[in-house]
């Protein structure tokens, strides 16, 4: 235990912590901050978000037939509001527009009318006019949901899955890609930052000792080569701490996006871009990505250690880690974190890839440990 | 001299540097091959340029129009045989056959029709040039940039002034008829983006990674291998740091040249630019989005390419200098690498903090880090922060002077410090 604590102290030395904080701040401002401070991003997104909150408020997690009728009634109400606004304005009367329907079919090639159109949307930013097209869109999608859902399948297995969803009316879930897309856009840079931090912290773990020839001293002590194992534990523990702290920071920032009312909504909504193999609620999806990140972090801890034992100097280590990192950030994360459990992939793709990653890293580590037991210290 | 050769050997025999170099070159090849599927479409333009030249003037337009009519007649002859229909354009023909034409026409005919479709695109594009350019208002673009970045006060005035200067250039460009030259259609093929954005950006980042690794590796070699006590304890020994800097520059240039030659070599082998080397880069055909690319100077494609490569070499010097200064201060290559990355990031995010109403907001743009982010708009109208006529030269110049000063301070400090 004492050795593990001392190893942890070595990993968390003050220089590295300062650099780690700086790396995280930069990653935050370069890749994460935008989706946090700009949610919902811009006009239609804001209106969809507001409409969705209202839907969730009055219908709960799913919108059944009766509630849908109510949704249509609300649409009519908003429309009347728009009518009232149009009728209250003289310039609309002069242009011969008396209600929303006439406004919606406005001919924007006509300069005079186009000016009115822009005035309502971009100059005065009247809410109802931004809202109405999306209410219409949501009604249209709901009414045609069976066909729209079925169109998303491209093979038999996906078809059965979609039929399954339709049978249980899960597609009527009150959830939308405005929220889902935002979360996915955030989780990718967050996981990138986390893995980068883990790599940065763990990689020197054996290298420093090898470079300073401390390992010769270690080998001759009572604990001997078992120090290798202790370091593994210390490394895993360190990355657990790093990941947990980063997740706490991230989710306290994410909480400012105000999406907690949708945590219990099923993600397989007709208004969402993903169809999942499983009936996941949003909170379950988030948990899944957290678990995935922890697994990836541990896998990366082990690979970083492995790299650490291989190189005799820093440039070798960086040179090996660099392609691994680039491949992970550019290719691997796209499939393992972004849109997890989507039916775009084979059903067991996600689970299998994670298991393979875990197996590869542990097996390599075991092999390395066996070699460590026998390794000759006179090079 | 011997020392220098030995230093160079450290770099060129390092398996890691060679390995990364190979990996990067392979990566660049992947980028190029991924986009090579349309290379046959580009040949149509080569043929047109062979026949009529790339300059668009009245005579050329007439001849090109006659040729197009003639080819259209050929198309109608073929179509008439099979479907007994007449078309006055290829796009109409395709509209009538939305499900493909494989069943009706043989390979040779299909190739002919496809080529004629591209020819037609050029024909119609030539016709729209004057209209497009008559609608361009540079000052409107300036106002758009100002609202986009929420600039006000002095900052907004600076942008207006710069765009006023650019407006003169714009009129000169139209008088020169630089925009009236044939080139690969930008909106379709995006060749400018492929070369100067995707490929150049990849190359630049690869080069930076190698520059940082090589420079830090050389400078800190003695410390990494615990030989500093031998190498630096004599007075003569301290001068070794200058040899190391010299070799770092040489080997950085060497690796950069290898990457550039292989990647650009393959690029120009796959995409045939013959006959187009002297086409002005500001040609309307090169435009990819609704605002055409317009350079500050009358530059042909080949001049633009060479200037860009020159700028890459200049930034190699700058980044070598920056890494050298960091590395003389921090003796650990691993930390040098991350400190460099952190400084890079800081220079990209800190300018956002500057007030939007004063000219300080532009200072952040004049750094090598900002400079290399958008290689596809070098020497061009490129948005509020970089549309200065001598932006590239100023940035390189200022930083070269700064780095020389700080570099010599670092060397002096190094010579006196405790080992």
DSSP state of B365: T
- Which pLDDT band, with edges at 50, 70 and 90, does A377 fall under? low
CB contact under 8 A, B333 and A315: yes
Mean pLDDT across chain A, nearest whole number?
88
Angle formed by the axes of helices A227-254 and A204-211, to 10°? 140
The alpha carbon dihedral of B195, B197, B198, B201 has a sign of positive
Find out whether the peptide bond into A186 is cis, omega within 30 degrees of 0: no
- Residue among A268, A293, A298, A262 at smallest CA distance from A280: A268
Phi-psi region of A201 (alpha: psi -120 to 50; beta: other; left: phi over 0): alpha
Interface contact A211, partner B, CB < 8 A: yes
CB contact under 8 A, A26 and B346: yes
Highest mean pLDDT, choosing among A79-88, B48-57, B65-74, B295-304: B295-304
The SS3 of residue B280 is strand
- Residue among A259, A274, A283 at smallest CA distance from A52: A259
pLDDT at A379 over 70: no
Q: Which residues contact A183 (CB under 8 A, 6 or more apart)?
A: A254, A259, A282, A286
The string of pLDDT tens digits covering residues B316-361 is: 999 999 999 999 999 888 999 999 999 999 999 988 888 888 888 8
Q: Which of residues 176-205 of A touch B (CB under 8 A)?
A: 200, 203-204
pLDDT of residue A378: 58
User: For A368-377, what is the mean pLDDT?
Assistant: 81
pLDDT at A375 over 80: no
The string of pLDDT tens digits covering residues B121-172 is: 888 888 888 888 988 889 999 999 998 888 888 899 999 999 999 999 999 9
CB contact under 8 A, B16 and A30: no
Q: Which chain B residues touch A122 with a CB distance below 8 Å?
A: none
pLDDT of residue B340: 96
CB contact under 8 A, B333 and A313: yes
Q: Which chain B residues touch A318 with a CB distance below 8 Å?
A: 16, 213, 333-334, 337
DSSP structure string for B41-55: HHHHHHHHHHHH-SB
Compare CB distances from B349 to A29, A203, A322 and report the shortest one's residue.
Answer: A29
Share of chain A above pLDDT 90, in %: 42
Alpha carbons B71 and B300: distance in angstroms, whole number: 31
Of residues B282 and B106, the one with the higher pLDDT is B282
CB atoms within 10 A of CB B377: 18
- Which pLDDT band, with edges at 50, 70 and 90, does B223 fall under? confident
pLDDT at A108 over 90: no
Total residues found in chain A within this entry: 379
User: For B282-306, what is the mean pLDDT?
Assistant: 91
Q: Based on the number of CB atoms within 10 Å of its own CB, is B417 exposed (0-12), middle (13-18) or buried (19 or more)?
A: exposed
Residue indicated by tokens 């390092």: B14
Q: What Å distances lie between residue A232 and A200, A205, A375, A377, CA to CA?
A: 16, 9, 18, 20
pLDDT of residue B80: 81
- Which pLDDT band, with edges at 50, 70 and 90, does B97 fall under? confident
pLDDT at A88 over 90: no
Interface contact A14, partner B, CB < 8 A: no
User: For A161-180, what is the mean pLDDT?
Assistant: 90
B14 to chain A: nearest residue by CA? A316
DSSP structure string for B194-233: IIIIIIHHHHHHHHHHHHHHHHHHHHTHHHHTT-HHHHSS
């Amino acid at each position: 235990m004492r050795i593990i604590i001392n190893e942890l102290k070595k990993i968390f030395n003050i220089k590295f912590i300062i650099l780690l904080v700086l790396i995280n701040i930069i990653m935050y401002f370069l890749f994460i901050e935008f989706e946090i401070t700009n949610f919902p991003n811009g006009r239609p997104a804001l209106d969809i978000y507001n409409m969705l909150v209202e839907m969730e408020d009055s219908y709960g997690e799913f919108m059944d037939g009766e509630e849908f009728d109510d949704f249509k009634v609300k649409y009519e109400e908003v429309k009347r509001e728009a009518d009232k606004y149009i009728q209250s304005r003289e310039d609309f009367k002069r242009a011969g527009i008396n209600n929303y329907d006439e406004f919606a079919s406005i001919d924007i090639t006509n300069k005079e009318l186009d000016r009115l159109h822009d005035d309502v949307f971009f100059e005065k930013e009247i809410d109802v006019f931004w809202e109405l097209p999306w209410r219409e869109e949501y009604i249209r999608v709901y009414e045609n949901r069976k066909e729209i859902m079925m169109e998303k399948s491209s093979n038999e297995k996906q078809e059965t899955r979609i039929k399954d969803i339709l049978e249980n009316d899960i597609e009527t879930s009150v959830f939308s890609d405005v929220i889902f897309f935002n979360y996915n856009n955030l989780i990718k840079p967050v996981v990138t930052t986390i893995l980068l931090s883990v790599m940065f912290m763990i990689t020197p773990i054996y290298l420093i000792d090898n470079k300073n020839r401390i390992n010769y001293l270690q080998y001759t002590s009572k604990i001997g080569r078992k120090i290798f194992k202790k370091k593994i534990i210390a490394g895993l523990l360190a990355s657990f701490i790093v990941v947990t702290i980063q997740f706490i920071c991230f989710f306290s920032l994410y909480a400012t996006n105000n999406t907690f009312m949708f945590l219990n909504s099923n993600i397989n909504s007709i208004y969402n871009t993903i169809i999942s193999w499983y009936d996941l609620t949003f909170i379950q999806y988030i948990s899944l990505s957290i678990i995935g990140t922890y697994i990836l972090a541990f896998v990366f801890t082990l690979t970083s250690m492995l790299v650490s034992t291989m190189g005799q100097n820093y440039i070798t280590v960086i040179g090996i880690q660099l392609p691994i990192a680039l491949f992970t950030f550019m290719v691997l994360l796209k499939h393992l974190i972004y849109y997890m459990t989507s039916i775009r992939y084979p059903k067991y793709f996600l689970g299998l890839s994670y298991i393979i990653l875990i197996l590869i890293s542990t097996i390599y580590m075991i092999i390395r440990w066996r070699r460590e037991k026998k390794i000759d210290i006179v090079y | 001299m011997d020392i220098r050769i030995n230093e160079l050997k450290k770099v060129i025999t390092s398996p890691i540097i060679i390995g990364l170099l190979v990996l990067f070159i392979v990566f660049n090849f992947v980028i190029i091959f991924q986009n090579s599927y349309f290379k046959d479409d580009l040949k149509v333009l080569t043929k047109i340029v062979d026949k009529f030249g790339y300059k668009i003037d009245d005579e050329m337009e007439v001849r090109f129009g006659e040729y197009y009519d003639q080819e259209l007649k050929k198309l109608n002859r073929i179509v008439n045989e099979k479907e007994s229909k007449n078309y006055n354009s290829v796009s109409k023909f395709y509209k009538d056959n939305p499900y493909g034409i494989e069943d009706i026409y043989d390979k040779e005919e299909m190739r002919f029709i496809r080529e004629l479709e591209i020819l037609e695109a050029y024909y119609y594009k030539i016709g729209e040039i004057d209209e497009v350019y008559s609608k361009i208002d540079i000052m409107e673009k300036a106002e758009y940039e100002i609202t986009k970045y929420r600039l006000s006060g002095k900052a907004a005035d600076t942008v207006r002034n710069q765009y006023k200067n650019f407006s003169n250039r714009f009129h000169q460009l139209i008088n020169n008829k630089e925009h009236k030259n044939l080139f690969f259609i930008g909106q379709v093929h995006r060749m400018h983006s492929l070369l100067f954005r995707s490929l150049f950006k990849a190359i630049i980042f690869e080069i930076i990674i190698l520059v940082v690794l090589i420079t830090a590796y050389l400078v800190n070699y003695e410390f990494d291998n615990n030989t500093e006590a031998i190498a630096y304890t004599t007075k003569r020994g301290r001068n070794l740091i200058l040899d190391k800097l010299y070799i770092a520059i040489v080997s950085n240039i060497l690796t950069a040249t290898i990457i550039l030659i292989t990647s650009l070599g393959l690029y120009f082998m796959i995409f045939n630019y013959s006959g187009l080397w002297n086409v002005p880069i500001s040609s309307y055909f090169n435009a990819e989005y609704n605002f055409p690319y317009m350079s500050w100077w009358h530059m042909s494609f080949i001049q633009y390419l060479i200037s860009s490569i020159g700028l890459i070499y200049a930034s190699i010097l700058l980044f070598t200098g920056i890494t050298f200064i960091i590395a003389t201060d921090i003796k650990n290559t691993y930390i040098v690498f991350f400190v460099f990355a952190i400084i890079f990031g800081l220079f990209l995010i800190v300018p956002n903090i500057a007030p939007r109403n004063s000219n300080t907001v532009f200072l952040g743009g004049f750094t090598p880090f900002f400079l290399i982010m958008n290689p596809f708009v070098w020497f061009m109208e490129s948005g509020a922060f970089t549309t200065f006529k001598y932006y590239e030269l100023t940035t390189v110049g200022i930083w070269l002077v700064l780095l020389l000063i700080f570099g010599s301070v670092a060397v002096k400090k190094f010579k006196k410090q405790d080992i």
